[in-house]
Structure 1
């Protein structure tokens, strides 16, 4: 399975993945998922929001156990973020069948659409729509860098954008959702454990900073006469790093757009996107407020207009304690020591769904700690340990 999926959407230059929502690479991933479901005799369906489902047992019976993740990527992302969870879910089902497990609850494997938000700027679109955390009207108007709306992209891919929206009936049929994911950090590598259980997801969000100055000639305009928004942007990037350091939080400007974007032109507009995360919402609010204050102070000194727009926000997610503790117990070692429980700063579909249904997450060790990069990695033995752990969890939840 892994070898079949590996080449899809891989860039020959960077060796990273560019599997963006509703593109050709995304369509190839979807076909791969459908083929895997069909091969296993699972009932395949696509819901109103473009999420894919593969069912063992009657979907209408209720109290289903669901597992899976996503197949899309960030720009030049790694091979494991998302796909490891989907591949491991299919492999865990194979393992349970090999054990002769008898299922007492329906089981589903899912591929949630547009989790990374790389194309339209909003993460977890498929799960947000399903959970009613994103309105259909707002989703249809999301645009990519070329001005193409999500609605148009879905239509071109053969899906109906008029059908999208909250899906409470589907969520009501799910008793538990467990997502396996490669760890995006080195906690497990440091502790020496191949697999861990998530305790919580830090609150996080994305903010767009617009710095407005005056375009002019780079070769003729005196430094004293310039209203250069790039300088204010640079001050703000440094301020974000300092605010995060002081608060024990995270703040990153990872995307920037410049107009007119000429080598010999002073910009008229610099637009930067801030990603910030912290252990609690009060700290996160304090960090973002500090960054915005620094941006406005710098802009005032230089005659630069500053506008700040919050594009997305996800509050702290505490995974359902009973389910979390049950997973840690199911994965206890031979000495009875429960699996390690650790928090994460990364958002996931499991976090979105946690407001509506009991959810939990398993992490597989990442020896480098690197993620959202072609250097993202996991050892085969750890991946196989993740499959076994997920199979044990599913057996404990859905089988006799």
Structure 2
């Protein structure tokens, strides 16, 4: 008998496979198609013949952990210790290890829909209950509904800011509401998925690291893969209070023990030369370019405040569900996207689709030319 009977092949796999079969432009999966920084590849090339190929300590390569201490202070003015940091095999492993470590049987976990698909499985494998709470129609948190969904069994609320799939970012008001919620429910913890933390545009990213009231009750997850355009490296990190991190490390050591060594050493060196503050400007240029291209189509563009995803409505183009529409885009026009309904447990259909614009300009231009035929 399956432990996850209702979970099948992910929509990302389905759409990417359809893109391959139809020779379509793949704007569905969230990965860049442009070259990695030559400074990073040069470091990696040099390290290939260095003595960096054995296990690192379970928590991570010590110099990299020290760099994350410094990065967290530089980015958020928060002082964390090396014992509060864990290098993980991508953000997904960090999320999985955190949930498995902290969520017990019959606990409840709040997931705000639409949501990324890696949250629910570790909750179910913990014999706990995922409680899906829809965001407002503009994809902002509905705090009245959230608070009504929290009770004495609620162990965790998962937040994702900047938000995949919608590109929304949280406001100071949202964090104030979160802090007030934690004041009312003393056993409640926050798992903050911040893998797009360095990709925000007109408004500056607000992190749990900015909010001292949340420090002892929150676990943050970050992604070097997203920040450095190296998604295939599968490397991220978790920051949590030491007493929570102690439990997370117990699970981590039996999932992967330690993350691959050469990537940790390479990123540690790369952090000395890269400017993460430039990442937002880089992606804002791509966002603006892509939005300019799509304005010539019949699609209605929704706001994009962060991430490298653009959501668009096709409600004025076709009277069909979003999954049917996205499949037709692949077969008829040769462009692969993701239907937003798949991010809802209820399958709520808003007639919206998600594009990934982390692509080179030629790819975006070619995709827009095809979408003009809508």
Which one has a larger percent helix, Structure 1 or Structure 2?
A: 2
Q: Normalized against structure 2, the TM-score is what?
A: 0.26
Larger RCO (CA within 8 A; separation ≥ 6): 2
